[in-house]
Structure 1
């Protein structure tokens, strides 16, 4: 953090002072030139992005319009009205976001897209509370991981779905109608020596074995969303998986694409994905992030705007998700201040959209 602040004060600020705050493209371009690297390694994405976001906020305030509407000017708006994305709630944490309890990083519950955001948030909160009760009844830990989801120790990843179904049934909701399942596998974290090592199987698995595992998992749990199911360089595996289950399940790249236009184009060429995670911190400026969104939308991908695991209470990302009319928003569990801040902002925007009759 201190290095980022120093870079802003000594390098970025002197170059930008005097520029008009409404010139977002020019300001972002100037910072990209100042950094001079492909991955913002000189100044750091934290330094560059914070200035880019602050510029956007300042210009929106100066224009006296909500941030999400200000962002709309940079988006191709043909037949794409602003909308509140469907929330994805990370209710069980594993992998690197918890303490060696599960292999998969996130187990998600996703309200039906026909629900309003307020209804979806209520559904997510009710399931979260119900899940906590189920864990207590089974003498399991209710400690939470980095993103607010619970982190129980279970013998297999598959058993999480059994507990989730119990929690959902207790709220009188129906899996496959009111609520759907998703997983962020983060397969890189258990991929070693060209094999996948997870607690569900005694032996290491090949890409073909993993694909068969996902097909089986999909049959029993009707997955709507599957993120980073294979290693980021296993392009053939991604293409095969996508060809087999993408008709009913969104195959999503995060580690695979890292909000990078070159990685995205490779994924499109290989027909590896049907959805993409968008994280401004992965690329470094607001305008570069918007450019990736446009490419993804033109390709017909489902767009999920995501927070990061180490978050602050800043809610810029909520306005961004609405501004680009994202399909989904992934902001963690309906718990902890840095996650709830985003959900509260989406509630406010939903009310504003109703008042503006948009």
Structure 2
């Protein structure tokens, strides 16, 4: 089926900031639209998100964050190259690579390239009368991912109420996706109630829907969430375990890890010991970005002493980059990777990174961003790619629940299995 039109336009993400949408029209008059997310805690090695800082219109109305240049790149450079071609994801992504051969997508902007790539994947799935999940897994049971969900948020997502970015839960004892989600909703709501009872600030909801409750130490925050798990008769470490997103690049300053709320400063070697003790003393099964994005030695040193059950998850370390993943595999720096399509800029290249990770025995977590949209394509990608885990944020905010609801829909309407990565 041929592409008849490609059109881009500016929309708003969940933080009220501009982002890119692209719509691909086909010969059967169907239109397939994709809206791309944007991160707040971004790694230095991510593909380039093109914004209009410096132009008069952008500065006056959007604080420099508008995306008119990225939209124009789609409408004037990508669209003419695609109209009239048969819809196929590999054709679309190859054409984008010809226009902009850089892996950073600096010529067009990764927000432009991903919007078209995603719209193309949705359009090709439609042309084959498949859902996006089925497009990537045409036969057999779909594998619904284990949810990793924010309870407490801090860092760049919640005005530094915690030194780290998130305390999350993994309901690995659940037998189905719907059961897992119900446990998470209960834990999150109890955390809000107990936070209020303790006189803590709970009116602040973070970018991803987690609770912005202040704690002086990471240990105190972990213990609070453990108490909420136990409040429903669930067993920490058996039914539900903790996952931490340290986002340590955010507080790595002048060669030191500076925990401002805790009023502590650590050298790299000292912070390896700190993280080692934290994992030993709390029911933590996954830890993300415990060290800064270019502190490779600390990653490698910790990986050599980390308990075998621990998921050592790289986000800023890898930024969904094939070359950085290959280095991490060679140096044994981690055993899992966060997959964020907008860190890469193309659907097919993002999938290639995920498949390389699986080939090396890495676990994979497909992840949303702090600035999300109402689109649910991330749930389909995580399922169709057999990622086994998905990280969307919390259970509040329609940009988050859109993904959870899509997974509930797949569970109800398709033949599925529930992933058990732990």
Quickly name the TM-score band, shorter chain normalised: over 0.9
Normalized against structure 1, the TM-score is what? 0.94
Q: Which of 8, 11, 14 is the matching residue for 2:80?
A: 14
Distance in 2 (alpha carbons) for counterparts of 1:269 and 1:246:
20
Residues 1:144 and 2:144 are matched in the alignment: no
**Pair 1:135-2:228 in alignment:** no
CA displacement at 1:279 relative to structure 2: 0.7
- Is the aligned partner of 1:68 residue 2:120? no
Q: Is 1:43 aligned to residue 104 of structure 2?
A: no
Task: Show the counterpart of 2:146.
Answer: 86
> Is the deviation greater in 319-328 or in 206-215?
206-215
Preserved CA contact (<8 Å) 2:137 2:385: yes
- Distance across 2 between alignment mates of 1:114 and 1:122: 10
Contact 1:157 1:199 in 2 (8 A): no
Task: Identify the residue that residue 176 of structure 1 maps to in structure 2.
Answer: 237
C-alpha deviation, 1:114, in angstroms:
4.6
Does the Cα contact within 8 Å between 1:49 and 1:281 map onto a contact in 2? Answer: yes
Unaligned runs of 5+ in 1: none
Structure 1 residues 292 and 113: CA distance shift in structure 2, 3 A? farther
In the other structure, the counterpart of 2:171 is 111
CA 1:166/1:246 → structure 2, altered by over 3 Å: closer, same or farther? Answer: closer
Tell me, yes or no, if the aligned pair for 2:410 and 2:416 is still in contact at 8 Å: no
Q: How does 1:217-228 map to 2 (within 5 A)?
A: 217-228=278-289
Q: Does 1:194 align with 2:194?
A: no
Deviations 1:159-207 (A, max 9, x none): 1112112212222211011101001101000001111010475442012
Q: 1:134, 1:166 within 8 Å by CA — same for their partners in 2? A: no
Q: How far did 1:2 drift?
A: 2.3
Matched, 1:292 2:292: no
1:230-281 Cα deviation digits (max 9, x unpaired) = 0111111101111111412110110000000000001011100100000110
Quick check: 2:338–2:367 contact (8 Å CA) kept in 1?
yes
Cα distance in 1, alignment partners of residues 199 and 232 from structure 2: 20
Change (3 A) 1:114 1:129: closer
User: Where is the strand percentage greater, Structure 1 or Structure 2?
Assistant: 2
Deviations along 1:43-75, one digit per CA (max 9) or x if unpaired, are 1111111111111111111211121010236xx
Q: Which runs of 5+ in 2 are unaligned?
A: 1-66, 418-422
Report how far residue 223 of structure 1 moved: 1.0
Indicate which of 271, 278, 291 corresponds to 1:210.
271
Residues 111-163 of structure 1: CA deviation (Å, up to 9, x unaligned): 01552100000001000111010001011111211100011122112211121
Residue 309 (structure 1) aligns with? 370
Alignment CA distance shift 1:208-1:50 (3 Å): same
Decide which structure has greater helix share.
Answer: 1
**1:4 counterpart = 2:70:** yes
Match of residue 56 from structure 1 = 121
Find the partner of 2:408 among 329, 347, 358. Answer: 347
Q: Within 5 A, what are the aligned runs for 1:312-327?
A: 312-327=373-388
User: What is the Cα deviation at residue 100 of structure 1?
Assistant: 2.1
| Residues 354 and 37 of structure 1, relative CA distance in 2, 3 Å threshold | closer
SS of the counterpart of 1:83?
strand
Q: TM-score, normalised by structure 2?
A: 0.80
Distance (Å, rounded) in 2 between the aligned partners of 1:83 and 1:183:
24
Is the aligned partner of 1:338 residue 2:399? yes
Aligned residues: 350
Contact 2:142 2:415 in 1 (8 A): no
CA-to-aligned-CA distance 1:307-341 (integer Å, 9 cap, x gap) = 01110011111000001111210000011010000
In the TM superposition, what whole-angstrom CA distance separates every residue of 1:197-227 from its partner, at most 9, and x where no partner exists?
A: 1047544201221111112111221211000
